[in-house]
Chain A
Amino acid sequence: MNTSLYISSGALQAYQQKIDTSANNIANVNTPGFKRKDQSFSEILASQLNNQGRTDQEVGRLTPDGLRVGYGTRTGLTQLVMEQGQAISTGNPFDLMIQGKGFFQVGYPSSTVGGADEVRYSRDGNFHLSPNPTKQGSYHLVNANGGYLLDQNGKPIELDGQYEVSIDGNGQMNLRSKDGSGTPFISAQQVGIVDIQNPHVLKNMGGNEFSIDSTVLPTGANASDYVKMMQPADVQIASGFLEGSNVELTKEMTDLMTTQRGFQMNARAVSYADQMIGIANGILK
């Protein structure tokens, strides 16, 4: 039995996963609102062997009796890093950037008849106007995946085509008639920004969106317990900007480099283990 072969090949798997994570981060270096993932390693099992039964003869030991052997490494935590990405000025009034905490709520109509609408959470503020199919002259704000931006009550934001819209710093929408008549007023709907108390419960849904992972919630808890609607005073939104990805290419490349070297060294260790088996085989030629 050559344990070092299994230790090193198991480590190769963990290092490969870290390279995969870095690759995904680098691939999304230009994705608006993307939050990078940070992967760390963790030690796995250890067991105790008692290879010398006569412990009274084990003089001069520093450690307790027995031999404790470790069995390598595995992927520990893959954390979502919520650091702010840099601001990208686009000039499009419906490009929104959250400064500080919070997520946009994005609603999708349920595919099952009568089912509850699905809500996902995103930091990607790339929204555009889309005509409301059920009402002439009315528009929704939708994102690149076709999800509706929701307001403070969880309803899709609806804009009337006759008004000019500007979104202010706390998510309120100022409306003004396009022909200049009437006084400007504030819409009853505002961009609903939610704070997710514990990002641990978020599940990556792809398309730059997250949903609450109901499988990790403690028994008796609802997804809604983890989502808090932020008050307009606490919300900071910049209209005309997109939040860039928070991936730093230099950091990712250095990470990738050290991980790749770690991978190589463990591959070499596999080769050493193999050589040792070969040597043992060579006793009898």
Chain B
Amino acid sequence: MLRGLYSAASGMFSLERRQETLSNNLANAQTPGFKKDDTVMRAFPKLLVERIRDYNETIPGANGLTIPGQGVPVGELANGVYAQERIPSFLQGALVQTDQPLDIAIDDQNIPLQVVNGRTVKPTAFFAVELPDGSVGYTRNGKWDLDSNGNLVTSDGYKILGADHKPIQVTSGVSKDDLYIDADGQLIANPNDAANARQVGKIGMVVVQNPYDLTRQGGNVYKSENPLPFIQDAGGTNPGVTLHQGYVEQSNVDPGQTMADMMMTVRAYEANQKVVSVYNQSLEQLYSVGKING
């Protein structure tokens, strides 16, 4: 029973998974609104190890019963490890000024903490976007532009939903340099021209009470199993969310930390490989013992 061999091999496999996460974080270190993932490793469900009882063995205090061949529990053994989950970190990224009219950054640091299922979590604010299949996704990517139809879209091409749950369309006659977006998400065209100033729409925002319930979809988008209320809807909340026009929220990846983690992952991988190699050497010895005329 080479249990340790499989433990070491599973260690290598899960470290590969961790390296994948770190590579993805590093690749997106400059993606606006990107939230890094942390890998959580977990031991495989434990095994109960038993030994076989000798025929003349008696157990003190247990009526002196001896049944040869019966199992006696020895203890628990965890057999290997696997990457159980990836927990996104919804820490606020740094806001960087770009002066682009359609760069919007969310600042949600002032949302009060909240307790969900006995854990304290930080509710997180998101923009709501329409995904190609018509469902609603949530994104922090505030790098936007107008498409040729005048729809407000993210850099991944998803339409931004307004407070009315419909895509925001900027009608002709308004170019993106004429748009002003206030801290609440009101889009106002020609703000300095009293005669032509008008409201174009309002950005639909969602505050997710437990952001760990969201699932990563790629393209900077998260999804929720249950539809979430916009902050303007009944039941929606808007504590401490501020929008900043002309700013972009940077990714919250720390490249230095990521590089160090990657280095450690490679070394841990190497150590696990050593264990596998040692098992291999033991097996080799075992093999040479059995050799005749060797």
Contact = CB atoms under 8 A, between A and B. Distances in A.
Overall SS of chain B's interface: mixed
Interface residues of B, number: 69
Contacts of B84: 52, 58, 61, 67
Interface stretch (B123-131, B229-237, B263-271): B263-271
Contacts of A14: 27
A7 B148 contact: no
B216 A51 contact: no
Contacts of B293: none
A229 B216 CA distance: 46
Overall SS of chain A's interface: mixed
A182 interface: no
A27 interface: no
Given A46-B218, A63-B85, A76 B27 contact: no
Interface stretch (B28-36, B55-63, B201-209): B28-36
A265 interface: yes
B285 interface: no
Given A4-B23, A266-B26, A283-B280, A200 B219 contact: no
Contacts of B99: 83
A226 B149 CA distance: 10
Interface of A: 2-4, 7-8, 10-11, 14, 38, 40-48, 51-52, 54, 57-58, 61-64, 66-73, 76-77, 79, 81-83, 101, 195-201, 216-218, 221, 225-226, 228, 258-259, 261-262, 265-266, 268-269, 272-273, 275-276, 279-280, 282-285
A285 B175 contact: no
Contacts of A261: 255
A3 B215 contact: no
A276 B66 CA distance: 52
A4 B159 CA distance: 31
Given A4-B16, A76-B141, A285-B277, 5 more contacts: A4-B24, A8-B26, A48-B215, A197-B173, A268-B262
B184 interface: no
B100 to A, nearest CB: 7
Nearest to A75: B155
B6 interface: no
B148 A73 contact: no
Given A76-B156, A284-B280, A217 B26 contact: no
Contact of B86 (A3, A4, A63): A63
Contacts of A40: 30-32, 143, 155, 248
B220 interface: yes
A51 B81 CA distance: 12
Contacts of B176: 198-199
Contact of B20 (A3, A41, A42): A3
Contacts of B147: 200
Interface string B247-274: 0100000010011001101100110010
Contacts of B149: 218
Given A77-B143, A275-B266, A42 B156 contact: yes
B98 interface: yes
Of the listed residues B213, B265, B270, the one surrounded by the most CB atoms of chain A closer than 10 A to its CB is B270
